[in-house]
A and B are shown apart, each in its own frame.
Chain A
Amino acid sequence: MKKYIGNISLVLLMTFALSAHAALDIEITGAGEHQIPVSIVPFAGEDLLSQKISDVIASDLKRSGMFRLVDTAGKTPHETSEVVYADWSAADALTIGSASKLADGRVEVKFRLLDTHKQSQMLGQSVVARMDQVRAIAHRISDLIYEKFTGDAGVFSTRIAYVNKDGGMYRLVVADSDGYGEQSVLTLKHPIMSPSWSPDGSHLAYVTFEQGRAVTYIQSLYTRQRFVLAAFPGSNSSPAWSPDGKQLAIVLTREGNSNIYLVRPDGTGLKRLTYTDAIDTEPSFSPDGRYILFASDRGGSVQIYQMPVDGGFAERLTFEGNNNFSPRYSPDGNGFVYMYSTGGQFYIATMDFQTRQMQVLTDVGWDKKPSFAPNGKIILFATESLGRGILATVSSDGRVKQKMTPQQGDIREPMWGPFLK
């Protein structure tokens, strides 16, 4: 135990149940340029758990496209003393560990990440948690491994939100970033649009048609309570939180055309930002909170513009394509992702603020609503496969692609959530 960095005891206040099965089937294509070869050895005792920790870690690392899994060839060391480093020279690193049930019903998970070349320990940790948190622990281990090798924070523990339309039913869903643990936040017989995460991940703002027109709500993911953010005459839509969580940008038609406003999360302090006869919509705050990206057809076609957060001059940023929609800043603020439309098709593209170069990342031609993972390395979007709406991701360099097909229904309007701090 001394060799472990620490021992964490989790205080677990409430019960929750994980979905027994994946809600999504996942297909991965492509690979990172320099994949890190790693071996994930099955953990001792993990057969007794609802999920095998080593499977979850292996799946996470593989999906990232940054790692190549090296077969363990049936060898199963669980302690450092059992590792014969010569056996593992095909891998740069090796993960070993164990899971054991404690007397109080909880489980203790120990893991070590070993450098096979230096023959030394890179990471070591022990976590005590409830049995139904095993998957979350595995994701955290994946995050640590990912960060150790890439220098970027892992996003395996983060969550995503999307709308699942199945027949006439609309469900607002929150799930783990790998599609497991799907939980319905809201179920309606009316369309749900535009889920937007609060910066701390505690609330979702979204739009529904349950009042006969587009009305924006905010809902707590902890208490499940929800309230109306904006229900002015006309449409109330496209909510986007400021980075400090103290206000939202929102689109209203109360004074005619769609214009962008700011409002506080309690619905007060409404302030109009744009004053055009055109459509101004899909606002997104820059990470420093100083600027807003949005889509507008003020120039004839729909293009991406940027303006200061207090309104004023809006600079046009996109010039290629018939129309461009749905801009979202990258987490570092150095660029943005958007939906690029050309020849009646829709693709996910990014643009760099410095070079003003665009890069088209997808090729399905029906790719919508992109958002960055909070580490900026992956982009989540909605696309179509065999006539069904599905989730997809693409690495921000365009190399690794993933499709996640729901077991039922059409997936729309995905949005990647923030790091949980």
Chain B
Amino acid sequence: MKKISFSLLLISLLSACASDKPADVAQAPAAEAQQPAAQETAPAQQTAQATAPVATDALEDPNSILSKRSAFFDFDKSVVKEEDKPVVQAHGQYLKEHADRTVEVQGNCDERGSSEYNLALGQRRADAVKKMLVVSGAGAKQVTTVSFGEEKPRATGHNEAAWSQNRRADIAYK
């Protein structure tokens, strides 16, 4: 008997608190979180603003290899593909020449596998790109890494065309 009443009481407590003021609790963290969101979704824009006074910055030249900011990966792999190496190496060289600039390498995965494994794999991809940037001349302190796992896909389809876009590490200038 006691068991039932106690369980119901817990349910009611739990439910009560959960619905007490959902709007407040829901909005506060969302509002807090807005700033990083803006940063993440508009890295190109931000870079443009930051470097606007320097008209000759190769980062701004759409014809420069530096306009490419991504390295792509095979399924379940974290080795930078041969065709993307020149891109990563060029950014490594640029960072060497611009010691004041810093980048965040953001590792991503396709949606296959578990979300937690993909979070780990995305980190490994980001680390692989960081390693190549540093080998190419960037200072280790100029490069931070983060993994978004499968949580922030660029393409949303459930097919190889989308997946190949999402197995990616982006070089985001801060």
Give 1 or 0 for each of B4-41: 1 = CB within 8 Å of chain A CB: 11111111111111111110011101101110110110
Given A14-B13, A183-B19, A257-B120, A323 and B113 contact (CB-CB distance below 8 Å): yes
Counting CB contacts under 8 A, is A74 at the interface? no
Given A212-B39, A251-B120, A183 and B22 contact (CB-CB distance below 8 Å): yes
Give 1 or 0 for each of B129-151: 1 = CB within 8 Å of chain A CB: 00000000000000001111101
Nearest B-chain residue to A129, judged by Cβ:
B8
Counting CB contacts under 8 A, is A394 at the interface? no
Q: Assess whether A190 is in contact with B37, with CB atoms less than 8 Å apart.
A: yes
Q: Assess whether B113 is in contact with A136, with CB atoms less than 8 Å apart.
A: no
Given A237-B116, A237-B119, A8 and B12 contact (CB-CB distance below 8 Å): no
Counting CB contacts under 8 A, is A108 at the interface? no
Task: Give the Cβ gap from B44 to chain A, nearest Cβ, in Å.
Answer: 17
Q: Assess whether A368 is in contact with B7, with CB atoms less than 8 Å apart.
A: no
* List of A residues within 8 angstroms of B39 by Cβ: 212
Nearest B-chain residue to A7, judged by Cβ:
B1
Q: Assess whether B18 is in contact with A258, with CB atoms less than 8 Å apart.
A: no
Counting CB contacts under 8 A, is B112 at the interface? yes
* List of B residues within 8 angstroms of A201 by Cβ: 10, 14
Q: Assess whether A190 is in contact with B121, with CB atoms less than 8 Å apart.
A: no
Given A127-B4, A302-B117, A341-B113, A188 and B30 contact (CB-CB distance below 8 Å): yes
Q: Assess whether B13 is in contact with A209, with CB atoms less than 8 Å apart.
A: no
Counting CB contacts under 8 A, is B168 at the interface? no
Q: Assess whether A214 is in contact with B147, with CB atoms less than 8 Å apart.
A: yes
Q: Assess whether A193 is in contact with B8, with CB atoms less than 8 Å apart.
A: no
Q: Whole-angstrom distance between the alpha carbons of A188 and B121 in the complex? A: 24
Q: Assess whether B120 is in contact with A368, with CB atoms less than 8 Å apart.
A: no
* List of A residues within 8 angstroms of B146 by Cβ: 212-213, 234-235
Q: Assess whether A221 is in contact with B12, with CB atoms less than 8 Å apart.
A: no
Given A251-B116, A341-B113, A279 and B124 contact (CB-CB distance below 8 Å): yes
Q: Whole-angstrom distance between the alpha carbons of A208 and B149 in the complex? A: 12
Task: Choose among A202, A211, A224, A256 the residue with the greatest number of B CB atoms under 10 Å from its CB.
Answer: A224
Given A235-B120, A251-B116, A413-B115, A181 and B29 contact (CB-CB distance below 8 Å): no
Counting CB contacts under 8 A, is A223 at the interface? yes
Q: Assess whether B124 is in contact with A221, with CB atoms less than 8 Å apart.
A: no
Q: Assess whether A188 is in contact with B33, with CB atoms less than 8 Å apart.
A: yes
Given A136-B12, A190-B37, A183 and B30 contact (CB-CB distance below 8 Å): no
Counting CB contacts under 8 A, is B49 at the interface? no
Given A185-B18, A189-B33, A369 and B148 contact (CB-CB distance below 8 Å): no
Q: Assess whether A10 is in contact with B8, with CB atoms less than 8 Å apart.
A: yes
Give 1 or 0 for each of A320-354: 1 = CB within 8 Å of chain B CB: 00010110000000000001010010100000000
Q: Which of A274-298 contact B (CB under 8 A)?
A: 279, 281-282, 295, 297
Interfacial residues, chain A to chain B (CB-CB below 8 A): 5-6, 8-18, 125, 127, 129-130, 133, 136-137, 140, 157, 159, 171, 174, 181, 183-191, 193-194, 201-202, 208-214, 220-224, 234-235, 237-238, 251, 253, 256-258, 279, 281-282, 295, 297, 302, 323, 325-326, 339, 341, 344, 346, 366, 368-369, 384, 387, 412-413, 420-421
Q: List 30 A-B contacts (CB under 8 A).
A: A5-B1, A10-B8, A10-B9, A11-B9, A12-B9, A17-B19, A186-B25, A186-B29, A188-B29, A188-B30, A190-B36, A193-B151, A208-B29, A210-B32, A211-B36, A214-B119, A235-B147, A237-B119, A238-B116, A251-B120, A279-B120, A282-B114, A295-B117, A323-B76, A323-B113, A325-B113, A325-B116, A346-B113, A368-B115, A413-B115
